[in-house]
Structure 1
């Protein structure tokens, strides 16, 4: 399945990239979603539409979960499902930045088997298939393998390192930030950063594709408690995410406080 799905995802990501870049970020029509759920633009919807047509035509028996499609319980009866974020990092897109990504994953019985993450304005296409490894523009990726030190570079929002989230002091690491969760995970798989974490409930479409890129690059990724990630849940959110090389991941999860601290 990964061998046959992966070329489809890569092609779809490139098509979607051309659609997204046909819009000028700062001038694209935008509005805020209800419930303080963040911004959406006409580009998000256009990319969602082209991905829906391309992917569902090719795999009509797969379920569909996308940030920009009204959710349906029909996907829960599908063994295999597309999990899509048409534009992850919409705020960066709106501001005219380059750090936004198209994220496409396929999950089979809760486990991601194929993934593509494309940053058109950075010309970076990350891809992974279960058992096939992870790549960036076709070149193999390897996550860093060291333990946690003061030089470890970890991608996380500033509030993640508030003392309330940790059993003792927050880890003394180098904190960095990128607006797209999919890109953060890809950078961990690439070995540019040693780890990433987010402690808030996290939508599946932000994480699905990137989770496979991390694991196929030799990293470890779980929820904030260390439990394996499972996808296509009735409520499509995860209990935070921690990713990194095995040693760093183990150290971060071991130092995190209880779930209720988030």
Structure 2
């Protein structure tokens, strides 16, 4: 028997989008463009920063999204993980503020991210960047939109001149083998992907340790805009595993996928240590 379809999917996407817009307003109240945030901040057990805005948005979205689809499990950066998600068909994957350090410092490059997984596959995604006045949305098979207008990744097919974002050590290593146009690091991984989706840049590199909540919503947006996210050797990205952590990832417009994968292979062959 085929899986039942997601109930009233367009209505659900609209409701999720509205929830993200409201969540963005909560975070924006404590955001200070170009200045340190007004939110209280502290370090989590692993040393990464968190703010009261992260926690407030997480709580708001859990209440709102759980009401929209009660049978869905929950995976979020700011909530203790619950193993029951591994046996659920639907899972909400949430990053209340992707790019917390950017948010804390007054950079606009942060976003509220929500994805819905169906058997581990993203089927709905919203990435809302209030300080950039950009809201990206998608349903699987329905194309990708930015502020309600359809978007598509760039038609680039050659690395020469391609605009590539990522951590400086990775870009510097790649530049030893390839000619391209480096782009300043985009601190939000979700925005790094969505800016490939809307054609602002052509590709992006992601170092190890990205989490599902950094990627899932933007991954679907990128796919629906004719782009691709993969592991460093071209393997598909798998979500809702027991440990939702990823290795090196490569994102690009469709035409750059193979050239960039080949370049990364060349890089690994010429520089065996981890980058």
Aligned: 1:127 with 2:134: no
Q: Secondary structure at the match of 1:249?
A: helix
Of residues 107, 125, 128, the one that matches 1:115 is 125
Instruction: Within 5 Å, give how 1:43-62 maps onto structure 2.
Output: 43-62=53-72
Instruction: Within 5 Å, give how 1:1-262 maps onto structure 2.
Output: 1=6, 2-25=9-32, 26-36=37-47, 38-163=48-173, 169-176=176-183, 177-257=185-265, 258=268, 261-262=274-275
Shift of 1:53: 0.4
- Equivalent-residue separation in structure 1 for 2:30 and 2:250 (angstroms): 33
TM-score for the superposition, normalised by structure 1: 0.93
Shift of 1:159: 1.2
Contact 1:161 1:170 in 2 (8 A): no
Q: Deviations over 1:164-206 (max 9, x none)?
A: xx6x934321111211111111100001100111131311100
Q: 5+ unaligned residues in a row in structure 1: which ranges?
A: none
Contact 2:121 2:239 in 1 (8 A): yes
- Equivalent-residue separation in structure 1 for 2:43 and 2:177 (angstroms): 34
- Count of equivalent residues: 258
Shift of 1:33: 1.4
Shift of 1:260: 6.3
Contact 1:162 1:170 in 2 (8 A): no
Which position in structure 1 is the counterpart of 2:3?
Answer: none
Shift of 1:4: 4.2
CA RMSD of aligned residues (A): 1.7
Is the alpha carbon distance of 1:153 and 1:24 closer, same or farther for their aligned partners in structure 2, counting shifts above 3 Å?
closer
